[in-house]
A and B are shown apart, each in its own frame.
Chain A
């Protein structure tokens, strides 16, 4: 099979040679793929704007010797509501960058494609705070990739201590009073923030609107996840500087 058909979302595009581009796509079938779109920079390219970032599309990709080549592209949704909004677009970029940096090379996870598609569709339409959409996406992404901090029980002894509000980056989750004594570096996370994390994790995006959300809890949860990503995956998002 030299050709494959898949859905995919454009994450990034980079000029190549005179008129081509390398398009980075998160595909449903093959995971993260970098493929060449030939002649795309010419004004009369048959691709038009179909391979712009944020576009969800149906693709046919040819497996090349060194690089794959996009032979066919059909738009599912260009997410106009994101790209035409100066506030939303930066939150959208943070989602794309999260996928670029956390999706393992050469591994396929259709759930990751579906999550990104659902998050972009929702951001595209909603009027709720874009920060809440991003943090919901972030926490679900960590759950899929297996890097979610453990927020329910003490990660050291497994004890379910309700008053545990200390997060230990080294342990990858919350630690209870007893374990805290052993000299671990911790910082406090307010209870409503932990609650919010649980609520967002198990809700579909369309249900997020119904969750009572305090802006300051969103900001703190985002900070916690950022810290967690930096500590465990050594990931620092460049697009983050553009938020707010």
Chain B
């Protein structure tokens, strides 16, 4: 019971597979593409294929890269004493936007998730340890998400890092800036208390 021609239907079906795109949005995007010029459609198609075929993972940090190394690993101005460990390449973007961090990164590509059978071997943890041999790294910042999975992954990596004698830190978590104590839950509040600092 399709109201659309087959190619249009195919287009909608492909768009709806994208995260955050429901059937309504997919339909709107499909109509937008059909109503715009053929050049626009070709540019979009080319950009998709080029991104997918030309981009791979950085040799050192597993961020997206179009050369052997990603732009951050290639940048001579970055501080090579620091590695910030994140779950996902998207997290790099979030941290870069703060303009507060100038070190390198390491993308784990996920978290430990026992119920889904995802263990340390499926993540880029061994590669992180390998990076620490014959380098000048002085500190590892564990910036996995402050939820149970991210916390477990950070604790696990911290344990593995012990023998390396490298300073290891965990990003602070607790009450969001602008939030109020009254509305904080017990887990968040106990993290905030545990991570209190001298002022």
B115 and A49: CB pair below 8 A?
no
Report the minimum CB–CB distance from A98 to chain B (whole Å): 10
Q: Which residue of B lies closest to A19 (CB)?
A: B20
B115 and A97: CB pair below 8 A?
yes
Contact residues in B for A44 (Cβ distance below 8 Å) = 176, 178-179
Give the segment of A132-140, A148-156, A208-216, A234-242 that binds chain B.
Answer: A234-242
Give the segment of A82-90, A109-117, A122-130, A167-175 that binds chain B.
Answer: A82-90
Q: Is A52's beta carbon under 8 Å from chain B?
A: yes
Dominant secondary structure of chain B at its interface with chain A? helix
Size of the B side of the interface (Cβ < 8 Å), in residues, is: 27
Q: Is B76's beta carbon under 8 Å from chain A?
A: no
**Given known A-B contacts A238-B115, A239-B114, A89 and B186 have beta carbons under 8 A apart:** no
Q: Which interface class (under 10, 10 to 19, 20 to 34, 35 or more) fits A?
A: 20 to 34
For chain B, residues 141 to 199, give those with C-beta under 8 angstroms from any C-beta of chain A.
Answer: 146-149, 151-152, 155-156, 159, 176, 178-179, 183-188, 190-191
**Given known A-B contacts A43-B176, A97-B115, A239-B115, A55 and B187 have beta carbons under 8 A apart:** yes
Contact residues in B for A89 (Cβ distance below 8 Å) = 148, 152
A48 and B185: CB pair below 8 A?
yes
Query: In the docked arrangement, what's the CA distance between A225 and B148, Å?
Result: 28
Q: Is A178's beta carbon under 8 Å from chain B?
A: no
Query: In the docked arrangement, what's the CA distance between A43 and B183, Å?
Result: 13
**Given known A-B contacts A44-B176, A89-B152, A242 and B119 have beta carbons under 8 A apart:** yes
Report the minimum CB–CB distance from B186 to chain A (whole Å): 5
B188 and A49: CB pair below 8 A?
yes
Q: Is B54's beta carbon under 8 Å from chain A?
A: no
Contact residues in B for A238 (Cβ distance below 8 Å) = 114-117
For chain B, residues 38 to 97, give those with C-beta under 8 angstroms from any C-beta of chain A.
Answer: none
Q: Is A94's beta carbon under 8 Å from chain B?
A: yes
B117 and A241: CB pair below 8 A?
yes
Q: Is B7's beta carbon under 8 Å from chain A?
A: no
A78 and B179: CB pair below 8 A?
no
A83 and B185: CB pair below 8 A?
no
B151 and A83: CB pair below 8 A?
yes
List residues of chain A with CB under 8 Å of any chain B CB: 12, 17-18, 43-44, 46-50, 52-55, 75, 78, 80, 83-84, 86, 89-90, 93-94, 96-97, 100, 238-239, 241-242
Counting from the closest, the 8 A-B pairs by CB-CB distance are A238-B117, A239-B114, A49-B187, A48-B185, A93-B114, A78-B187, A50-B185, A242-B114
What 7 new A-B contacts, CB under 8 Å, besides A55-B187, A86-B159?
A: A17-B19, A48-B188, A80-B187, A86-B156, A97-B115, A238-B117, A242-B114
